[in-house]
Amino acid sequence: MNKNIIFQKCRFNNIYFLLYIIMLFIKVLIDYKIYPDKQELSKYYLQLKFINYLYTYNLSDFLAIIPLFIRKKLLKKKKNILTKIKDEDNKIKNDFPLVYTNSFILIADNKKKITIIYCIILGTCDFLKCFAKILYSIIYSGKEIDLYTFSCLVPLEIILQFICSYLILKTHFNKLQYFSLFLNFGIFIIILIIDIINISLYNSFDGKILYFYIAHIIFYSIEYSLGKKILLYGFISIYLLIIIKGCIVLIFGLLFSLVMFFVDRNIFLKFELFFSEKKYILLIIANIFSNFFVNLFLWLIIDRFSPNYLPFVFIFEEIIYLIADIIDNFEYNIMGWDLYIRIALYLISAIGVMIHNEIVVINICNLGSDTKYFLDKKVESEELFANTENIDIIKRYETIEMDSVDEENRDSIDNEGENSLYY
C-alpha cells in the first residue's frame, strides 16, 4: 500500500449521528427554557435536577413501548412467511437424532440468566449516573452543577470509554488504537492543567464538580459497554433493553424520592412552580419526548457500531452546549483566554477517535500494519493469489528473494550436472 493516510467509506448508518445531534440540540434548548427566572434560579436547582436527570429521563424510557410494538408486528409478518419452511425443517429433524440439542439449550439458558444479571447492573449504573449529578445539588444546595464547555471531561470520557470497551467487550487494541489512547490521555492532562489554573486564578467553576462528573462518567461508560455486550447476545432488542433499564431506574428512583421526602418535604413542595403554569408543563412533556429520541439514537449508534464511536457524540455535545450558551446568553464563563486552545485540542482528540475506530488509517512507520483494513487487504490478496492462474498476477507476488533462491537452485543443479559429467 503506497498511501500513508486512508479514509474509510461513509456508511448509511452514520445518519444516526446526525439525528442524535439534531435531537440533542432541541433537548438542550428545551432544558434551558424550563429554567425559571434567573433571580429565582438558585432556589430551584435541586428540583431541576430531579426533573431533568431523574423523572423526565426515566419516563422517556417507557416511550420505547411504541417502537417495540411496531417491531413485533413487523416480525409477525416475517414469521408467517417462514412458518412453512420451518415446518418442513422440523420434519427432517425428527427423522434424525440431534446429539447436541441439550448442550445448545443449556448454553442459551445460561446466556439468558447472564443477560438478566447484566440488565440489572446496567439499570443500576444508569440510576447512579443520574444520582451523581443530583447528589452535588443535595450537598451544595443553591449551586448549579455546570462548568464551561471544552473542559477536561470529554478527553476523560473518551479514555474511560475505550478502557471499558477493552475490559468488558474484550476488544483488541492495535498499534494505532494505543496511539489514540495515549494521544487523548496527553490532551486530558493538558486541559486538566488549564482547568486547574482557571479554578485557582479565575474561579471559573467549582472544582468539586469534577469529582461528581467523574463518577457520572464512570457509571455510564460501564453502562454503554455492558449494553453492547447484552445486545451481542441477541436475546433482547434495543427497545426492550431501554424499557428494562427504565423499570430498574423507576424502582431506584421511587425509593430515593421516598427517602428524600422523609428527609426534607420542602424539596417536593417547590415542584409546584413547574406545574402551576401551562408553559412549564408543555416544556416538561417536550423534554420527555426529546429525551427518548436522544436516548434511542444513542443506543442505535452503540448497536450499529460500538461504544468506541460514542466519543464523536461527546465532542459534538460540547459544540452544541457552546452554541446554546451563546444563543441563550447564559451566565457561564465560556469565553475564557484558553477557549481556542481547548477547541484546537478537541479537534486533535476527534482525529484520535477517528484513528481509534479506523475511520482514518495511518500507514506511517508501520503503525497501520495490524489494523482490520490492512489485514482484510492481506486476506484478499492471498485469496486472489491462491485462486488465480493469470501469470501477470502471479508475477506480482514474486519477490526478489524467491528469484535469488531460484537462481541458486539452478546454479547448484548445473554444478551437479557438470560434476557428474566430469566423474
Percentage of the chain modeled with pLDDT above 90: 37
> Which of the given ranges, 105-109, 266-270, 415-419, has the highest pLDDT on average?
266-270
- pLDDT of 180 > 50? The answer is yes
Among 10-14, 52-56, 107-111, 196-200, the minimum mean pLDDT is found in: 107-111
Q: What is the mean pLDDT of the chain?
A: 79
Q: Tell me if 206 sits within 8 A of 212, measured CB to CB.
A: no
First to last CA, the chain: 52
Could you tell me which residues are beta bridge partners of residue 226? none
Task: Please report, for residues 146, 187, 308, the alpha-carbon distance to residue 210 in angstroms, rounded to integers and kept in the order given.
Answer: 10, 17, 23
Instruction: Please tell me which residue, 98 or 7, carries the higher pLDDT value.
Output: 7
- pLDDT of 229 > 60? The answer is yes
Buried b (16+ CB within 10 A) or exposed e, 276-289: eeeebeebbebbbb
Distance CA 388, CA 384 (A): 6
Confidence grade of residue 241 (pLDDT, cut at 50, 70, 90): very high
Burial status of residue 177 (CB atoms within 10 A of its CB: 0-12, 13-18, 19 or more):
buried
- pLDDT of 383 > 60? The answer is no
- pLDDT of 333 > 80? The answer is no
What pLDDT score does 2 carry?
55
Among 47-56, 94-103, 300-309, the minimum mean pLDDT is found in: 94-103
Number of residues assigned to the chain? 423
Q: Give the pairing type, strands 5-7 and 360-362.
A: antiparallel
CA max distance for the chain: 116
Q: Tell me if 27 sits within 8 A of 295, measured CB to CB.
A: no
Cell output for 175: 498499534
Burial status of residue 139 (CB atoms within 10 A of its CB: 0-12, 13-18, 19 or more):
exposed
What pLDDT score does 369 carry?
56
Percentage of the chain modeled with pLDDT above 70: 72
Distance CA 325, CA 48 (A): 18
State the DSSP code for 150. S
Q: Tell me if 146 sits within 8 A of 53, measured CB to CB.
A: no
Instruction: Report how far Cα 56 is from the mean position of its chain's Cα atoms.
Output: 22
What pLDDT score does 249 carry?
95
User: pTM for the whole thing?
Assistant: 0.79
Q: Which amino acid is at 18?
A: L
What pLDDT score does 270 carry?
80
Instruction: Report, as an integer, the average pLDDT of 120-133.
Output: 94
Distance CA 256, CA 209 (A): 21
Confidence grade of residue 9 (pLDDT, cut at 50, 70, 90): confident
Domain boundaries, the chain: 5-377, 388-422
Instruction: Please tell me which residue, 322 or 69, carries the higher pLDDT value.
Output: 69
Could you tell me which residues are beta bridge partners of residue 362? 5
Q: Tell me if 213 sits within 8 A of 119, measured CB to CB.
A: no
Instruction: Please tell me which residue, 32 or 56, carries the higher pLDDT value.
Output: 56
Confidence grade of residue 100 (pLDDT, cut at 50, 70, 90): very low
Confidence grade of residue 161 (pLDDT, cut at 50, 70, 90): very high
Cell output for 286: 417536550
Q: Which residues, at least 6 apart from 259, have a Cβ–Cβ distance to it below 8 Å?
A: none
Among 17-31, 79-93, 244-258, 283-297, the minimum mean pLDDT is found in: 79-93
Name the nearest CA neighbour of 255 among 54, 118, 64: 54
Q: Is the dihedral of CA 251, 252, 258, 261 positive or negative?
A: negative
Q: Which amino acid is at 320?
A: I
Half-sphere exposure of residue 27: CA atoms within 13 angstroms, side-chain side: 22
Confidence grade of residue 7 (pLDDT, cut at 50, 70, 90): low
Instruction: Please tell me which residue, 305 or 420, carries the higher pLDDT value.
Output: 305
What pLDDT score does 217 carry?
94
- pLDDT of 414 > 70? The answer is no
What pLDDT score does 371 carry?
59
Q: Is the dihedral of CA 16, 17, 19, 24 positive or negative?
A: positive
The C-alpha R_g of the chain, in whole angstroms, comes to: 29
Q: Which residue has the cell 452543577?
A: 145
What pLDDT score does 401 carry?
44
Task: Please report, for residues 189, 408, 411, 412, 413, the alpha-carbon distance to residue 403 in angstroms, rounded to integers and kept in the order given.
Answer: 53, 9, 12, 14, 15
How does pLDDT run across 15-25, given as a tens digit for each residue? 999 999 999 99
How does pLDDT run across 33-77, given as a tens digit for each residue? 777 665 566 677 788 888 888 999 999 999 999 999 988 888 877
How does pLDDT run across 336-346, given as a tens digit for each residue? 678 889 999 99
> Which of the given ranges, 41-50, 217-226, 400-409, has the highest pLDDT on average?
217-226
